[in-house]
Structure 1
Amino acid sequence: MFFLFLLIISQSIGTPRPFERYLDAPVLTSVSGTVPPGLFITWKGVSQRADDPVLGFKIKLWILKQETNIEYELLNAEEYPGYIHNIKPSKSFRINETLGIPWKEFIVEREAEYIEYLHIQNLDYNVVYEVRVLAYKIDQEGPMSEPIRIKLVKVGENLGHTIKKTSKAQNTSKYVVPKATVKALQPNGFRIYIPGDDRIKMFHIEANFYSHNGTFYKSIREFSVEETNGYWMYEDLETPLRVGDTVVYYIFVAFKRGVTDIFHWLLKVPGYTGQGRYKITEKDVVHKNDLLEPSPDVYNTCKRTATEIFKGKACSDKTIFEDNFDTFRNDLWQIEQYIPHDDPYHPFVAYQNKPSNPTVFVEDGLLVIKPRLPGNITEFSDGSFLYEKSHLGDECTNKICADQPGIFPAVLSGKLKAKVAFTYGIVEIRAKMPIGDWLYPEIQLESLTKKYGNANYSSGVLKIASVNSIEQYVDGEMWYRFRPGRRGLRSWLPLNCRKNWFELLGTGGKMAPFDHHFSLTLGVAVGGMIFPDNITGTVGVKPWRNKERRALQKFWKDLPNWYQTWTQPLLIDYVKISAL
């Protein structure tokens, strides 16, 4: 019995208990500048056992790609004056040169259990450095500390510097990184995830894996920049994770997009950290083909939606674009200036806005789009504009900026394009339509990328408001209900149109060509082929026929009749676009 008792004691001393093998991240306590230019770094160590010690620490130093005297801006980070450190004797260290530029690794062997320090010399002024530290054992590396960034600045003969660090103190949104869920996958693999949050732009996970007896067998450092079914997740389908294994993880999330150096795991964005330790049980084992159910809305301030925004994210029922036209906002709209030769209706206009006599302006809380005769604009005369070459110059916003000598265009008008593009949504507009013979509004959604081609609206156009006669449309009634056929909207095409474009539409979804991003446009057009022949206006029959060569000339000669009917421009009170 006595011998057996001693044997048990010796085993408990010789074999570290599992939880005591797990490595935590050290805490960087300070990073300060030194003269000549260098860094003095201190950190708090990690817990350890005498018979399973931490061998030392690795201090990772990145050189951020900015060498300038201009103040370095780090979004969402603290900034405070640096101080000059009174140098202690330099601590011995080894440099791992194999990693190369743009970063180095300094290896410091452990001497004190709780406080460590390092003096790095021969650095440069006006360079932003990022510092992180981790502990290591003979068979594993622990997670890295939160980063601290510092720039050394020389002012005259003196040294000054600013320190920029990420910390929980900057978390004005009161965000707390939730506990991660860890699942073991059958036959092999694992999945680590947290609930989605529309504020998160990047998810970084660092984790060490230990078997049931505490033996370290794997380490990961991975990140994601996209949610998966409402979760921020990392998935590995090869590494076996078994019941009884333990995962020690650190999570770093960022609320603002930055540049991440994937090769060197450099997080160039601030954020918030969370950590945890999780032991796998039977209930945590799922098959690798079992997909995650969508994240419940209680975890999200952003409900999922079919609406997509170009270079952005949409949330269900949320406004993605709105303007009440209290003033003209250049950040929301681009004033279009071009000659619409590629418009299949061939309107008799050039879209142009001159400050001396604008076609687009805001007045009394309304957006006004008012067509004008070219002679009303002081830079032109009727003769020079109608019978000489027209050119929009550097102000042109489209590929067609000039026209050969002739009588085109007959009218100058205005058009705007919203600086947001989206796929699927709800558009609300309160407006009064223009009044006048041969005027018609162009309130429509136009393709952003021309995915299916340029000619004849090949990539689609959605007309929100227009006219096909002199009468105004009647509000309050459903205009159309569209149901795509078995082969999508292209099923509506007549047989004589089913050529290359028909096949191109087949590369999209059922909603093609409306399955990509569109932008809202507001404008007023005049004449062209949108009005049927022989239709009667306010003071007479339409003076041109749609396909005749002299249509523009006949329209212009009828000016005394139609111009007197132009009594109201397009007036828009507000525009609002919402996600589904």
Structure 2
Amino acid sequence: MFGFVPRQKHEFYFSEPVSKRRLMFVIKTNDEVGITSFVEMNRCAPKYLLALNVALTVTHLLIGVSSEKEHLKQVKNDHLNQSHNVPSANLQQLCPRGLRLWIPDSPEIQFVGFHVSINSPLIGASPSEFNTDLGRPTGGKWTFDIPDIYLQKGDSVFYWLHLVVGNHSRLRTDLSWNVPGNACADTNSSNFQCTESVTVTTKSPVCSGQLLFQDDFNNLNLESWQHEITASGGRHSEFQMFVNNRSNSFVRDGVLHIRPTLTKDVLGENFLFNGVLDLWGSSLPGERCTNPINNGCYKRALGGQILNPVVSAQLQTSRSFSFQYGVVKVRAKMPRGDWLWPAITLLPKHSAYGSWPNSGQITVGESRGNARYMLNEDPLGIQRVEMALNFGLQELIQDHQGLIKKYANSEEGWDTNFHEYQVDWTRDGFEFFIDGKSLMNVTPPIDGGFWSLGGFTADPYPANNIYQYGTKMAPFDQQFYLAISLSVGGISGYFPDSAENSPYPKPWNNTSPNAALDFWEQKESWIPTWTEENSNFQIDNVRVWALP
């Protein structure tokens, strides 16, 4: 606080810096009149203090003029009407990323300062996320480009302007702009033209390289993500039920967590053997069962058929976002814990070629949480992460037909750090990456496509070619949506009986009619491996771009 005592009571203070070199100096009188001036901040501290003293002295002299009340009245009127000479800004979302703000030049404008924040309201002339001070226009405009930000429909841009018009300093505050649906169609800019991408979404057309979907998990956005609610065990008869519950899916410190918990901790162990599980819920979004297959919505314990002993979550964009062809990047940390099965997948929106796996599945990344799970001396647990494509007729699949996959090993385990899992999906094929390094390329032949690539060309398969009326990319020529899940166990063979787990063997057999019961009865062997933080599937961010 700096001050002196002239003929009236005044308060003096310096606000937060308007920019790196400019400080806003405010005087508040007992008439509630605010006088604002701007002081240049010098690199040298003594010069900086001298500048402050000069500003105080000059302001003191201004206030001390004989007609003080008239002067203050004029200043008050100036500030009440300061936005009258401040032109409005034009805003343009740039393609494929970035934001442009500009105002037309006029002879009276001597200086323009832009102050911008994304999705964070600015109250008055408050500090902003991005800012710049301009001393001259370019091409008849005062232009501020922010090149490295990704915007999507619904984002809010908050901003304020500081102009020097003639000899007067002017502020225009509390301004905002909402990002429109078509990022590259704004006519305010003639420098950025939209080249339409081959990517298809529910909001097509889109521009080449446009960011289509982004979540940095500052909160759990239930408009973007819907929860699977079912006890079906999925297509692999897994042992968990999926619910919409903040004990199992939540955001903390900018990271999405999916946590496995035990059914008995909420409903009691007796419920597993004698209870009735009703997930039908209400008709409200987020409460109603989503998958009735295998008694997924209503299930009664009967003999060796116990209820699902584990509760977990699957989040998906099935009702909010889907796309065909594009670039997907997910930054994630895999969980550690015996028999945990984390997966990041793309699933078909319409199942155009029939039920799974007919219509395909794109596995962006999946793993097994076991610390010591070996198959033929190769690590099969947390040291391995897999990326894959599933397709073909279920009844015709033998061995590895209809499955193309590749894995990468990490001695320290995929649970120790976050890694970026990426899929480039084009009209010609796929390329899979981990941390920017290519892991697998898949290119189907023009003749036969994935039917041929999957090994279904020998008799009697050609007569059953369900992809013959699609493109060579069928079944991957349709729109898919994002799904992130944490499953447990299952009898599909993802946890093979032939693999060896240490220190305790696998507690169930994939051919057992009571696999979930067997799993639960050996709970003392695997529950200790689930630690609260390390056993959470953690997602830092998700992004999807249109193809360039």
Using structure 1 for the length normalisation, give the TM-score: 0.46
Higher relative contact order (CA 8 A, sep 6+): 2
Using structure 2 for the length normalisation, give the TM-score: 0.49
